[in-house]
Amino acid sequence: MTESFRTRLMRWGFNLFPAYRRTGGRITRISSDLMRVQIKIPLNWKTRNYVGTLFGGSMYGAVDPIYMVMLIHLLGPEYNVWDKAATITFRKPGRGTLYAEFVLSREELQGIRDELAHNESIHLVYTVDLTDIEGTVHATVEKTLYLRRRAK
């Protein structure tokens, strides 16, 4: 996945933004077309919980804004995109760095536009797994997003 200068600047800005920076998560790559984003959450003194594993709040916080921000940029200013709900299911304690990848497709974006041409609003559900370097799933986050066309 190649980054453009624009998406590299976006990544740097996002990682420096105080609300995201304090989650402990870091965006490691944003594709030049904004269709793929990769993050990592290292286990360190800022992300460690009382029992020495990754804090669930850090896991969720690092994942929380990604799909919403991707859709805002990809759909453009004629659409409102808001987080509606989320759940996190913990499967194994995070004893090291965890990774997640967020992926959208052109067909999915066109489907959203088509559906919003016929409906006032829609809800989309996205699932993302937090995995270790071997691919073992440690947590699964389900995000529900609310989308609608902006009033003209």
Q: Which domain holds residue 70?
A: 5-149
Give the burial class of 148: count Cβ atoms within 10 A of its Cβ; 0-12 exposed, 13-18 middle, 19 or more buried. Answer: middle
In total, how many domains does the chain have?
Answer: 1
pTM: 0.92
- pLDDT band of residue 150 (cuts 50, 70, 90) is confident
What digits encode the pLDDT tens for the residues 41-77?
999 999 999 999 999 999 999 999 999 999 999 999 9
User: Residue 12 belongs to a domain with what CATH number?
Assistant: 3.10.129.10
Residues present in the chain in total: 152
CB-based contact 72:37 (threshold 8 Å): no
